[in-house]
Structure 1
Amino acid sequence: MKQLLVLDDPRRAQAFVDYLNDIGLKCELTLDDDHNATLWLVNESRYQEALLEVKRFLAEPLHPRYQDAAWRQGDTHIHFSPDPSKPGLAGDLLRRTGPVNMLVLLACAAVYALSWLGLPLFGVLSFPADPSRLLGWEFWRAFTPALMHFSLLHLLFNLFWWWYLGGMIERRLGHGKLLSLLLLAAVLSNFMQFWASGPRFGGLSGVVYALVAYTWLSGRLTPARGIGLPDGMAVFMVVWLVLGFADLLGIPMANMAHLGGLLVGLLQAWLDRNKAVLS
């Protein structure tokens, strides 16, 4: 058998397996201790055909064809009963994150809270007006603007996407992959935004764009790695980027940081396209 895909939604995975079996692509489903569902193709000679179906599923996972297939299978498919021993909402939120993901989330929240209380953190964390200072003991300021947010809405928007996409990447591809994406996207985005507008900027948006691009393109190129993003979400983020460059949103936007993150994510996904899937 050959691994096709890993999903963290067992019910949706089962519907997709039912669909594949319905069209003659015999598949089996296994669950690990974290309730991640792994799809296995029985007939490996039809792997390329199955990959096309995986890409179509990731692009439109809620399409009725998958639920229709589940209904046609009737009671032969697996049922997942509620487990009273499972953690509640907070436990489920924590299960979908990891140490790198959680550390950055808490750091952004702490910086925002301390700044709101009046601590003068901007001068410590912002990108220096003289970039040569980054060659000395203030090197961290090439990264730390990503931790600063100037409104609660800005913070919550970025942290939701960071938690959702960063958690997906960290669970499936490891701590090192998320950390490398974070550092590369933050530093490149900060340099590009400084070049465009000077040192008065901040936010995790450049990193978020890197994660969006990486997750979407990885799902297209190597769906067996278990990460992916529907086309609609990726299109929304690109439209948001274009509106920002066109200055149609009525708010100041770190457009070059967004563009830098997008390029980092796309390039890294392309470079990672032939890497082995973690077991």
Structure 2
Amino acid sequence: MSRVEALRCPLQEDLSGFVGLLRRLQVPHRVSEERDSQVLWVPAGSLAEQVRALYLRYPQGADEAELPTPAQPARPGFVAQLRASWMTALVLLATLVVAAITLLGENFTTLRWLSFQDFHIQGEYIYFQPWLASLEAGQWWRLVSPMFIHFGVLHLTMNGMWYWELGRRIEARQSGWALLGLSLLFGLLSNFAQFWFGGPSLFGGLSGVLYGLLGYCWIFQLLAPTPAYALPRGVLAMMLIWLLVCLSGVIDTLGFGSIANAAHVGGLAAGCAAGLIGGALARARR
């Protein structure tokens, strides 16, 4: 390790107590003898200053109970978090507005304007129009608008919580516009995946986007580690296990509703690909 001199004391001075304190505090250090002195080395100049200040207070060492408790930084309030994560908050606000005007998927009059394909209901059947017909009519928003649709309070709550967690990380590490671009990209690709593999159906939710953001943080972190994308292993494992459970068909069998599995897998694949590109670029810049 590179060495910076933190202390220089006479050979007869007993540094064992202070060295023991540094070990308990897990401070990297080394002690050497030079002529009539013993020198304590640390890796960095800023750390050397802290060690000197600690030595002035506890030259003979100290028990951990005697050390002052470091002040914990104040956690930012809710308003401060909203200001710092304004794009995350705006996406969630749009999701809440859509949930209100569609009555969580119960108001088909408004829902049909946001679904991937336009539809009409006749009796107990739902009939979908060709999706290209909607695009030819200029309704391009349908490519991404299903990400804002949710069916039920639990569906909305769980997706909203995860987007708040993952979205803030990307917004803090990159920018709000980067988060919006990734969200729209993952929403577009996951919607296409669901339509391609599932056929005409009524689907929606942020979950495809969430798996995209998860894959992005996961692969980016492997290539260019950054504190913002350091997801707890339990979170990553839980999301992947849940994906496998949904793919197994257990959720449908138990009667909890249909799961847009193709959207989940498509979002995850798109996120991993984007994370590979973003992580490789960040690593090259370093």
TM-score bin (small chain): 0.5 to 0.7
Q: 2:66 and 2:135 mapped to 1: Cα distance?
A: 63
Which one of the candidate residues 227, 250, 260 is aligned to 1:248? 250
Across the two proteins, how many residue pairs are aligned to each other?
A: 214
CA gap of 1:74–1:237, structure 2 versus 1, over 3 A, is farther
Contact 1:220–1:228 at 8 Å: present in 2 too? no
- Counterpart of 2:82 in structure 1 is 94
Q: 3-state SS of the aligned residue for 1:273?
A: helix
CA gap of 1:73–1:184, structure 2 versus 1, over 3 A, is farther
Are 2:114 and 1:125 equivalent residues in the alignment?
yes
* Superposed counterparts of 1:12-23, under 5 Å: 21-22=27-28
Q: 2:76 and 2:233 mapped to 1: Cα distance?
A: 32
Which sections of structure 1, spanning at least 5 residues, go unmatched?
A: 1-17, 30-70
Q: TM-score, normalised by structure 2?
A: 0.66
Which one of the candidate residues 239, 252, 260 is aligned to 2:266? 260
* Superposed counterparts of 1:1-279, under 5 Å: 21-22=27-28, 26=43, 75=67, 79-80=71-72, 82=74, 88=77, 90-95=78-83, 97-98=85-86, 100-116=87-103, 118=107, 120-128=109-117, 129-132=129-132, 133-197=134-198, 198-224=200-226, 226-249=228-251, 250=254, 251=256, 252-276=258-282
Instruction: Indicate the percent of aligned positions where both proteins have the same amino acid.
Output: 33
Q: TM-score, normalised by structure 1?
A: 0.67
Q: 1:118 and 1:272 mapped to 2: Cα distance?
A: 40
Q: 1:28 and 1:267 mapped to 2: Cα distance?
A: 41
Q: 2:73 and 2:227 mapped to 1: Cα distance?
A: 27
Q: 3-state SS of the aligned residue for 1:149?
A: coil
Amino acid at match of 2:130: D
Contact 1:96–1:168 at 8 Å: present in 2 too? no
CA gap of 1:134–1:81, structure 2 versus 1, over 3 A, is closer
The structure with the larger Rg is 2
Contact 1:218–1:228 at 8 Å: present in 2 too? no
Amino acid at match of 1:121: T
Amino acid at match of 1:94: L
Q: 3-state SS of the aligned residue for 1:145?
A: helix
Amino acid at match of 1:79: A
